[in-house]
Structure 1
């Protein structure tokens, strides 16, 4: 790999890490934002929902946009968008405006994630596998150390720092990208002559609108009922509207020629469906712990942001240590044994949460975090391998997009879960109930992995 390729890899790496970094740093700031804006946990959880919903929509759309407008342009536009959002978010006059800038930040960072891998794959031809693995380290490493960075920033400064910290990364990535990413080739005439109507049909705007509005309406109905403590006509109307719109979304996706989420693929390939269901459940488990533990530590156990960040570091470090071990294991034995052990680790971690009580040492939460961290390291490799096993070779691009959508749906559902279970104010009892629910989900994953492993052995014999 020559010097220019190395600098290009660093430029792209600094850009793509911003999405996982910003999605993970916020976990430490939830308690502080609750106090600043006088919100309950249900209300402040929209800072999580908004980011993941926007990412779920923006990444596939920006992937298609890069084919029309060019990957370099999309990447640089994403950097500028992220810079503006990170600069303006701390100046938000209300929580509503903070959500708006958080959405803009999500769209900007999603632009870079959507095209970063493609830029590296196209322009770095020597030792390409090594280059892509380095880019994966940028992504997973940023997610792993995000809570620790967030804890340090909140300890020495205040919550605006978790937005301002993006600016040096954006500036470095922009300067390096401007010099190292080759200019985009002129788009094909078919792309340049495409009408607005055809472009909107290509990205499936009706499907995007139905999915987004339906999901938001359903979340509003569920969370507002939980927050108010009773079910009103408005809650029921919002929830039913969301369900109707999501049903319309499913109907639309099955009929349209260029679906936002190709649901027909699930019906055609049942094994692929199960992989995505398992991946969604894995992300519900992981992110419910990821966002639930910091709020429990700060609001129930009165641990500082700095020390919360240090405790959360055990989650990320265990995940990073387990990933290379999982790679060798999956190469030798396939994905199912690793997924089975991962489910057992999550079951143990959830059971540990259930046993915690107000007199338990605060550091004991690291046992659960370590178990979930190791399981996440196993899952990050084994789930990807299971996806490739169940996916037809000619559809790897499509199925990878569906896979990422399953990830975001899992994170959204995890936020909904902790919003409902932990309610307006986290408590030891609510945290224990969260552990019980996570244990049930983890046991379901153990059963699925065991069943698929047994059926795979029978097929081999």
Structure 2
């Protein structure tokens, strides 16, 4: 691989790591944000919800936009937006403005993830698998060390530091990307001759709006009811608006020429549908632990942010160490054995959380974190391989986009699960209930993985 390609890969990697870093680093900051803005856990959880809802919508949209306007332009524009959001978020006068800048940050970082992968696929033709594996290290590494970095920053400074830390990465990526990413102007027929209405239809703006309205309204209705402690008429109306909008979204997508989420594809290839469902459940489990344990340690066990970051590091390190081993195992045996082992480890980790008592050594949490970290390393490679095996080659691009959407939906559901279980205050009892629910979900994944092993569902298409 040439020196120029290595610099191209580094410039893209520094950009795409901003999304997982920004999403994971906030997990340690939640108790601090609760204290600063005087919010309960349900209220402050919107710092998580807003980022993932926006990312689940923005990433496929920005992929389409890059085809219209050029990938280099979209990537550089995303860096500028991420820079502005990271600079202004710490200056937020209230929590509402912080959410606004968090949404803007999500849009900016989402402009780089899918587009960055496309840039590498197009412009690096030699040792492409090596290039993509290096980018995956940027992605998984940033997510893994995010809580540790967050714990250190909050310990020595305060919560604004989790936004300021993005700025050096943004500047380095922008300077390198400006010099190394080749220009790729969009086709003249698309960029110049397409009317606004046709462009509007091409990106399926109506479908995106219905999906956003439905998901946000449904979550607001559920969270508001839980936060207030009772179900009011207003909560019911907002929730119903969400359900109606999601129903309208399904109906519209079935008729759309270029749907935001091609639902007919799921119906046509049921195995791919089940892979996405499993991946969503995997992320419900992983991120429930990812966001739940830091709050449990700091609020229920009174552990400092710095110590919490150190403990959470075991989750990321186990995941990073397992990924290359998982790759070699899956190359030899396929994804089924690795995914079954992953589901078993998540079950053991969930059971271990349930058995913890208020007098259990804090360090014992590391056993559950290690089990989930190893399972995450297996899942990162195994679920991707399962998706490729279950998806026809002619729609592999669409399948990859839907796969990422499943990841974000699982993350959103994990935040919702934590908020419903914990309500306004994070407690030891609530953490045990969360562990029981995670055990049930993990056992369902064991069953699904075993059934796939028995029936041999994952075959080459």
After TM superposition, list the pairs within 5 Å mapping 1:390-429 onto structure 2.
Answer: 390-429=390-429
Residue 125 of structure 1 deviates from its aligned partner by 2.0
In structure 1, what is the Cα distance between the partners aligned to 2:102 and 2:405? 19
CA distance in 2, matches of 1:290, 1:457: 30
- What displacement does 1:111 show? 0.4
* Maintained 8 Å contact 1:68/1:192: no
How far apart, CA to CA, are the structure 1 residues paired with 2:121 and 2:401?
17
Distance (whole Å) between structure 2 residues aligned to residue 69 and residue 241 of structure 1 = 34
- Once the two structures are superposed, residues 249-270 of structure 1 have per-residue CA deviations (whole angstroms, 9 ceiling, x without a partner) of 1111111111001111111011
1:160-309 counterparts in 2 under 5 A? 160-185=160-185, 187-309=187-309
Partners in 1 of 2:328 and 2:36 — Cα distance?
47
Distance 2:437 2:38 in 1: 28
Deviation at 1:70, TM superposition (A): 0.5
TM-superposed CA distance for 1:189, in Å, is 2.0
Query: How many angstroms apart in 1 are the aligned matches of 2:454 and 2:319?
Result: 27
What is the CA deviation profile of residues 385-420 of structure 1, one whole-angstrom value per residue up to 9, with x for unaligned ones?
111111001010011111111111000000000000
Deviations 1:214-263 (A, max 9, x none): 11111111111111111110111111111111111111111111100111
Q: Distance in 2 between matches of 1:37 and 1:61?
A: 33
Q: CA deviation at 1:459?
A: 9.3
Counterpart Cα distance in 2 of 1:225 and 1:153: 34
> Within 5 Å, which residues of 2 pair with 1:333-372?
333-372=333-372
For structure 2, the 5+ residue unaligned runs are none
Tell me the SS of whatever aligns to 1:297: helix
Q: CA RMSD in A?
A: 1.3
Equivalent positions of 1:2-21 (< 5 A) are 2-21=2-21
- Closer, same or farther in 2 for the Cα pair 1:243/1:186, shift >3 Å? closer
In structure 2, the residue matched to 1:326 is: 326
Deviation at 1:102, TM superposition (A): 0.3
Relative to structure 1, is the Cα distance of residues 458 and 14 closer, same or farther in structure 2, using a 3 angstrom cutoff?
A: closer
Q: 1:186 to 1:68 in 2, by over 3 A?
A: closer
The aligned residue for residue 24 of structure 1 is 24
Distance 1:376 1:186, change over 3 A: closer
> Is residue 201–residue 258 contact of structure 2 (8 Å, CA) maintained in 1?
yes
Deviations along 1:5-26, whole A, 9 cap, x unmatched?
1111111110000000000000
How many angstroms apart in 1 are the aligned matches of 2:346 and 2:104?
34
Note the 1:1-150 alignment, pairs <5 A.
1-150=1-150
Taking the aligned partners of 2:42 and 2:190, their CA distance within structure 1 comes to 47
Asked whether the 8 Å contact 1:82–1:109 carries over to 2, the reply is: yes
2:382 matched to which residue of 1? 382
What do residues 145-181 of structure 1 show as CA deviations (whole Å, max 9, x unaligned)?
0100101110111000000011110011111111111
* Superposed CA offset, 1:50-70 (max 9, x none): 000110111011101111110
SS at match of 2:125: coil
What are the Cα deviations for residues 300-355 of structure 1, in whole angstroms up to 9, with x where unaligned? 11111100000000000111111111111111111111111111100000000001
How far does residue 376 in structure 1 lie from its aligned partner after superposition?
A: 0.5
> What is the CA–CA distance in structure 2 between the aligned matches of 1:18 and 1:72, rounded to whole Å?
17
Q: Distance in 2 between matches of 1:459 and 1:9?
A: 32
> Structure 1, residues 427-448: CA drift from partner, whole Å, max 9, x if none?
1100000000000000000000
* Superposition deviation, residue 188 in structure 1: 2.9
Q: Which residue of 2 aligns with 1:444?
A: 444
Check conservation: 1:210, 1:249, Cα contact below 8 A.
yes
CA–CA separation in structure 2 for the residues paired with 1:186 and 1:431: 51
* 1:458 to partner: Cα distance: 12
User: Which sections of structure 1, spanning at least 5 residues, go unmatched?
Assistant: none
How far, CA to CA, are the matches of 2:153 and 2:193 in structure 1?
Answer: 48
Q: TM-score if structure 2 supplies the norm length? A: 0.98
Contact 2:69 2:185 in 1 (8 A): no
User: When the two structures are aligned, how many residues end up with a matched partner?
Assistant: 460
Does the 8 A contact of 1:213 with 1:242 survive in 2?
yes
* CA drift at 1:186: 5.0
Question: Within 2, Cα distance between the matches of 1:369 and 1:458?
Answer: 29
Q: Is the 8 A contact 2:89 2:102 kept in 1?
A: yes
